[in-house]
Amino acid sequence: MKSFLSALFGLIGMSVATINEGMPAYMFSLLNQDGKKVTLADLAGKWVVLYFYPKADTPGCTAQAKEYSKLIKEFDSYNAVVFGVSTDSVESIKKFSQKYSLKVNLLSDPKGEVAKAYGVRVLMGFCSRDTIVIAPDMRVAKIYRGVDPNSDPVKVLEFIKSSLR
């Protein structure tokens, strides 16, 4: 039944969560806003935040990216890297990053393959606003679904801080 639902949701552009908290992270390589390949396996030993957003340069996505950018030095101090992920092209995320002088790396997932692997809904080419936190051991530590773009960065930072206590 699950495979039938996965196939059905895949046809309409949605996905069924395939990864849960505590499971190994889905390994991927995507291009960032500068066209450089980012490979998750290369980040072992760090906290990795993947925040999925619908569309570059829209109000909620801009607010979320700016909030993460404001907190980037604090994330760095906890050995955490932050990536905004969308189905936008490399060219589009580069313009977005430059327009707002963003401090976070943005990743292009044009077919939504990484998003779907993490259970992020992709409908008509737009990702749902979900955040995945990957622990240094490359296991999914926390999954936030349908996040508020303004409070998500603080909530994620607090989760990482509390995990280190």
Residues with catalytic function: 61
Determine the Cα–Cα distance for residues 79 and 73; give it in Å rounded to an integer: 10
Q: What angle do CA 131, 43, 101 make, to 5 degrees?
A: 60
Closest by alpha carbon to 122, among 114, 107, 110, 112? 112
Q: Under 8 Å CB-to-CB from 32, ≥6 apart: which residues?
A: 38, 83, 90, 93, 105, 106, 107, 108
- Cα distances (angstroms) measured from residue 12 to each of 29, 75, 122, 136, 143: 25, 36, 9, 34, 23
Q: Which residue has the tokens 């296991």?
A: 139
DSSP one-letter code for 26: P
